[in-house]
Structure 1
Amino acid sequence: MSTTRPLRQHARHVLTRGAWPAAALLPLALAACGGSDGAGDAAAGPAWPPAHGAYAAACTRLAATARLENTMLSARYVAAGTRRPGGAATGDFLPGHCVVTGSINPRVGVDGKPYAIGFELSLPDDWNGRFLFLGGGGNDGILRDTSLSSSISGGTPSPLGQGFAVVSTDAGHSGTTASFGADPQARIDHAYNSYDRTAVTAKSLIAAHYGRKPEHSYFSGCSGGGRQGMMFSQRFPDYFDAITAGAPAMRVSSGATVAAMWNVSRFNAIAPRDESGARILSKAFSNADLNLVAEAVKSSCDAADGVADGMVNNTQACRFDPAVLQCSGAKAADCLSAEQVDALGQVFAGPRNSEGQALYAGQPWDPGLAAPGWRAWTLGSSPTATPDARYITLMADALANEFFTPPQPGFDPLGFNFDTDPARMAAYSAMYDTYADDRLTAFRQHGGKLLLIHGMSDPIFSANDTVDYYERLAANHGGIASTQEFARAFLVPGMNHCSGGPATDNFDSIQAMVDWVEKGIAPDTIAARALPTQADHPNRTRPLCAYPRFARYKGSGSVEDAGSFVCSAE
Structure 2
Amino acid sequence: MTPLHPTRLVLLAALFSAGCSSPRAPAPDIGMPVACAELSVAMPGVRITSAEAMAAGQGQPAHCLVRGRADERQGLDGRPYAIGFEMRLPVDWNRRFLHQVNGGNDGAVVPANGGLGIWPTTPLARGFAVISSDSGHNADDPATAAAGLARGNVFGLDPQARRDYGYAADGRIYDIAQALLRRHYGRAPERNYMAGCSNGGRHALVAATRYGDRYDGILAGAPGFNLPKAAVQHAWDVQSWQRAATDIRQAFSPADIQLVASHVLARCDALDGLADGVVGDLAACQSKVDLKALQCSGAKNAACLTAPQVGALQRSFAGPRDSAGRQLYSDWPWDAGVGSGDWRFWKLESTVPPWDRLPLIAVMGAGSLSYLFTTPPTATPGTPADLLAFMTRFDFDRDAPKIYATSGPFSESAMQFMAPPDVDDPQLTTLRARGGKLIVYHGHSDPVFSVNDTRRWADKLQANGGGDTLRYYGVPGMAHCQGGPATDQFDALGALMAWVEQGRAPAGLTARINPANPEIPAGWHRERSRLLCPHPQVARYVGGPAEAAESFRCAAP
Cα displacement string for residues 411-436 of structure 1 (whole angstroms, at most 9, x for unaligned residues): 61111111121211112212221223
Distance 1:148 1:546 in 2: 24
The match for 2:419 is: 433
Alignment counterpart, residue 178 of structure 2, candidates 203, 227, 230: 203
- Larger displacement relative to structure 2 (426-435 or 69-78): 69-78
**Map 1:97-136 → 2, pairs under 5 A:** 97-136=63-102
The match for 2:530 is: 542
Q: Is the 8 A contact 2:461 2:467 kept in 1?
A: no
Change (3 A) 1:37 1:456: closer
The match for 1:59 is: 36
Distance 1:367 1:80 in 2: 44
Change (3 A) 1:390 1:202: same
1:558 shift after superposition: 2.3
Instruction: Tell me, yes or no, if structure 1 residue 391 matches structure 2 residue 397.
Output: no
The match for 1:367 is: 336
The match for 2:14 is: none
Change (3 A) 1:382 1:329: farther
The match for 1:26 is: none
1:298 shift after superposition: 0.5
1:131 shift after superposition: 0.3
**Map 1:152-167 → 2, pairs under 5 A:** 154-167=118-131
Equivalent residue of 1:490, what SS? strand
Instruction: Tell me, yes or no, if structure 1 residue 354 matches structure 2 residue 341.
Output: no
Alignment counterpart, residue 313 of structure 2, candidates 324, 339, 344: 344
Distance 1:383 1:490 in 2: 32
Distance 2:394 2:261 in 1: 29
Quote the RMSD (CA, aligned, Å): 2.1
Instruction: Tell me, yes or no, if structure 1 residue 307 matches structure 2 residue 293.
Output: no
Distance 2:394 2:92 in 1: 53
Distance 2:120 2:344 in 1: 27
The match for 2:486 is: 503
The one-letter code of the counterpart of 2:401 is A
1:79 shift after superposition: 3.9
Q: Is the 8 A contact 2:39 2:51 kept in 1?
A: no
Distance 2:85 2:330 in 1: 34
Instruction: Tell me, yes or no, if structure 1 residue 239 matches structure 2 residue 217.
Output: no
Distance 2:460 2:398 in 1: 28
Equivalent residue of 2:242, what SS? helix
Q: Number of matched residues?
A: 502
Change (3 A) 1:419 1:387: farther
The one-letter code of the counterpart of 1:61 is E
Q: Is the 8 A contact 1:223 1:247 kept in 2?
A: yes
Distance 1:227 1:533 in 2: 26
The match for 2:409 is: none
1:387 shift after superposition: 4.8
Distance 1:389 1:78 in 2: 41
1:77 shift after superposition: 2.9
Distance 1:450 1:295 in 2: 35
Q: Is the 8 A contact 1:75 1:98 kept in 2?
A: no
Distance 2:281 2:230 in 1: 24
**Map 1:13-28 → 2, pairs under 5 A:** none
The one-letter code of the counterpart of 2:37 is T
Q: Is the 8 A contact 2:37 2:53 kept in 1?
A: no
Q: Structure 2-normalised TM-score? A: 0.86
The match for 1:286 is: 253
Change (3 A) 1:3 1:469: farther
Distance 2:39 2:446 in 1: 42
Structure 1 portions without partners, runs of 5+: 7-35, 51-57, 85-91, 272-278, 478-482
Change (3 A) 1:46 1:367: same
Cα displacement string for residues 350-371 of structure 1 (whole angstroms, at most 9, x for unaligned residues): 1111121111111110010100
The match for 2:383 is: none
Instruction: Tell me, yes or no, if structure 1 residue 560 matches structure 2 residue 547.
Output: yes
Distance 1:378 1:5 in 2: 47
The match for 2:410 is: none
Cα displacement string for residues 115-163 of structure 1 (whole angstroms, at most 9, x for unaligned residues): 1011111101111110001111111001111135135xx3151211111
The higher-RCO structure (CA 8 Å, 6+ apart) is 2
The one-letter code of the counterpart of 1:487 is L
Alignment counterpart, residue 237 of structure 2, candidates 242, 253, 263: 263
The one-letter code of the counterpart of 1:158 is T
Cα displacement string for residues 146-202 of structure 1 (whole angstroms, at most 9, x for unaligned residues): 135135xx3151211111000111000001711101111101111111000001110
Q: Is the 8 A contact 1:541 1:562 kept in 2?
A: yes
Cα displacement string for residues 184-221 of structure 1 (whole angstroms, at most 9, x for unaligned residues): 11011111110000011101110111111110011111
Distance 1:111 1:307 in 2: 58
The match for 1:274 is: none
1:495 shift after superposition: 0.5
Distance 2:25 2:403 in 1: 49
Q: Structure 1-normalised TM-score? A: 0.85
Equivalent residue of 1:100, what SS? strand
Instruction: Tell me, yes or no, if structure 1 residue 519 matches structure 2 residue 488.
Output: no
Distance 1:5 1:103 in 2: 31
Cα displacement string for residues 196-252 of structure 1 (whole angstroms, at most 9, x for unaligned residues): 000111011101111111100111111101110111111111111011111111111
The match for 1:420 is: 398
* Percent of paired sites with the same residue: 41
Distance 2:202 2:352 in 1: 33
The match for 1:80 is: 55
Q: Is the 8 A contact 1:134 1:150 kept in 2?
A: no
Equivalent residue of 1:454, what SS? strand
Q: Is the 8 A contact 2:243 2:308 kept in 1?
A: no
